[in-house]
Structure 1
Amino acid sequence: MSAVSYLESIVVGALQGVSELFPVSSLGHSVLLPALVGGSWARDLSIGKGSPYLAVLVAMHVATALALVLFFRRDWVRIVKGFWTSIRYREVRNADQRLAWLLILATIPVGIAGLLLESLLRDFLGKPVPSAIFLALNGGVLYAAERFSRRRRQGEEDTVDFSTEDTLVMRAVTVEEATDVRLSKLSVKEAVLIGSAQILALLPGISRSGVTMVAGLRRGLDHEDAARFAWLLATPVILAAGALKMPTLFTPENSASLGPALAGSVVAFVASYISVRFLMKYFETRTLTPFAIYCVLAGIGSLIVFAW
């Protein structure tokens, strides 16, 4: 197979950095864009088995995860500290300890499913027509979630109980800490259900962040908290997948794609960081509806192009 060019990698890196965090499916767009452009792009950017493009995409996903680690670095410091103290003292008493274990338990189902199903689903469904169908379905799911998700009782979303011992006493509590306290109050069942929604993102066209947010909204989270939990959940999953698959980028047959992979990963990192900053502000007051409309239109439009 042909090596990925610098231009192709940079364009796909920008697309990956945005579409992985926006609820519009990075994998679906990574399949549809080359097919729509055609020519050498369709030839070079195929996600078939052994494709250098697939190895480059893995590197870009890792770059996105690193951008999330940087953006949520204060959260991850508290979470890692909470996990360490939980192990050391054999307790789960405060918000950081509980959130650490919720994230671990919630990522187990998608980890198992990814090992068992990812290659199979990618090889059979990683084509333009299935990707277009799933992208349109993704939009329908986002729209349905906005219309039918359960709403919290008035005032509940702003109420955090700071009287318990899992809170920070005698100092100001940041917005991020207050959000993590709310997330830590999810039950294990709720957290696992939300995390399991990521399994659907193995289908090209279904957004990881989108379906995880939808599951969070259904469990009573508001948009901002649902987005935050979705990205915290996605980070270890993407990093773990990258650790397993990154070695394929360094095989002799992919050596020509190393430079483009690095360039595209840098672009993906920057685009991801800008995207998460934008979306955290966006979801303070806005909804998934614009993304739902885009996915439906883009999915149906792509389907018309490729089906006829």
Structure 2
Amino acid sequence: MWDFFEAVVLGTIQGLTEFLPISSSAHLRIFPEMFGWGDPGAAFTAVIQIGTELAVLIYFREDIWRIGSTWLKSLVRPEYRGHLDARMGWFIIIGSLPIVLLGVALKDVIEQDFRSLWIIGTTLIVLGVILGIADRVSRSNKQIKQITLRDAVLMGVAQACALVPGVSRSGATISMGRFLGYEREAATRYAFLLAIPAVVGAGLFELKEIPHGDNTYGWGPTIVATVISFVVGYAAIAWLLRYVSTKSYTPFVLYRVALGALVLVLVATGVLNA
């Protein structure tokens, strides 16, 4: 039963942190270590992210249906090929390639070396500072309808950096979007849409590892954590989109830096095992 309690806690953490630019994978590595539960494993982390991406699919169902249907029409009907939604479909596909290719090529490194708390603490701080700078210098004069192929590729490359826990998939994509001049809500919304293929793909790819491999939990706790992450994640999406429409990312920057510094101190003093 204790495994199910841990699963509820970890599912809640995943739901709260997946869409905020603070790195869900870092939190799923740090907090179990603090509680003495050990590393839940990369497979468990990847699979329960399916829950939060299901929340994205439902929350943005109208956008996703419109983009997907228009993209499919554009494959056979020339009059749809210049349509924004058709281009958006291609941008999401192209933008997903860097994280997919690097994720497969670096699978062993990601699941072992990149999960060091030394790396996670450092990336929390560094990417937090980058997010703060991007948010401050952004011209904020672009909407999502103005996205170009170049911007899609650059944001895709930024998203791929999130293969390192602590970077944050949404945080990296949003930072690049802000550097490119996109409004906060536009950068955030696109980050959510861009993450769908990569996160769902990674989760499905890691399903086979749940009964064995490096994960701590079996199917039961993993399913519970996934369901909890869906419910909490859905609420987090709605809150974040309302928040960024009027406020900056500064609180998230400060939180990242503080948590990263705390992790490094606890590892350096031997309180946490890196």
Q: TM-score, normalised by structure 2?
A: 0.91
Letter in 2 for 1:6: F
Matches for 1:241-256 after TM superposition, within 5 Å: 241-250=202-211
Counterpart of 2:10 in structure 1: which amino acid?
A: V
Q: Is there any run of 5+ residues in structure 2 with no aligned partner, and where?
A: 270-274
Counterpart selection for 2:74 from 86, 93, 97: 86
Q: Secondary structure at the match of 2:15?
A: helix
- 1:204 counterpart letter in structure 2: P
Structure-1 residue corresponding to 2:144: 183
Alignment pair present for 1:293 and 2:246: no
Residue 59 of structure 1, CA deviation: 2.2
Deviations 1:119-170 (A, max 9, x none): 3133112022221111111211111112223343xxxx5xxxxxxxxxxxxx
Unpaired runs of 5+ in structure 1? 48-53, 158-181
Q: Does 1:61 align with 2:59?
A: no
| Cα distance per residue 1:261-289 (max 9 Å; x no partner) | 11111110011101001001011111111
Task: Evaluate the alpha carbon distance shift between residue 103 and residue 119 of structure 1 in structure 2; reply closer, same or farther with a 3 A threshold.
Answer: same
SS in 1 for 2:106: helix
Preserved CA contact (<8 Å) 1:122 1:202: no
Residues 1:219 and 2:217 aligned together: no
Asked if the contact 1:201/1:211 (under 8 Å) is kept, the reply is yes
> Which runs of structure 2 are paired with 1:2-81 in the superposition (5 Å)?
5-38=3-36, 41-42=37-38, 45-47=39-41, 54-81=42-69
Which residue pairs with 1:178 in the alignment? none
Distance 1:116 1:255, change over 3 A: closer
Checking the alignment, whether the CA contact within 8 Å between 2:22 and 2:166 is kept in structure 1 is: yes
Q: Which runs of 4+ in 1 moved over 4 A?
A: 250-256
Deviates more, 1:262-271 or 1:183-192: 183-192
Structure-2 change in CA distance of 1:140 and 1:77 (3 Å): same
> For 1:85 and 1:259, how far apart are their aligned partners in 2?
41
Cα gap change, 1:285/1:256 in structure 2, threshold over 3 Å: closer, same or farther? closer
TM-score (norm 1): 0.82
Count of residue pairs the alignment pairs up: 268
Q: CA 1:28/1:4 → structure 2, altered by over 3 Å: closer, same or farther? A: farther
> In the alignment, is residue 273 of structure 1 matched against residue 234 of structure 2?
yes
* More displaced stretch, 101-110 vs 265-274: 101-110
**Aligned equivalents of 2:210 and 2:101: distance in 1?**
23
Secondary structure, aligned partner of 2:52: helix
CA contact (8 A) 1:133 1:299 kept: yes
* Greater mean deviation of Cα atoms: 105-114 or 284-293: 105-114
**Change over 3 Å in CA distance of 1:252–1:139 after alignment to 2:** closer
Residue equivalent to 2:272:
none
Moved more, 182-191 or 68-77: 182-191
Matched residues in 2 for 1:202 and 1:115: separation?
10
**TM-align CA RMSD:** 2.1
Structure 1 position 118, deviation (Å): 3.6
Structure 2 matches for 1:28-177, cutoff 5 A?
28-38=26-36, 41-42=37-38, 45-47=39-41, 54-90=42-78, 91-152=80-141
Identical-residue share of aligned pairs (%): 31
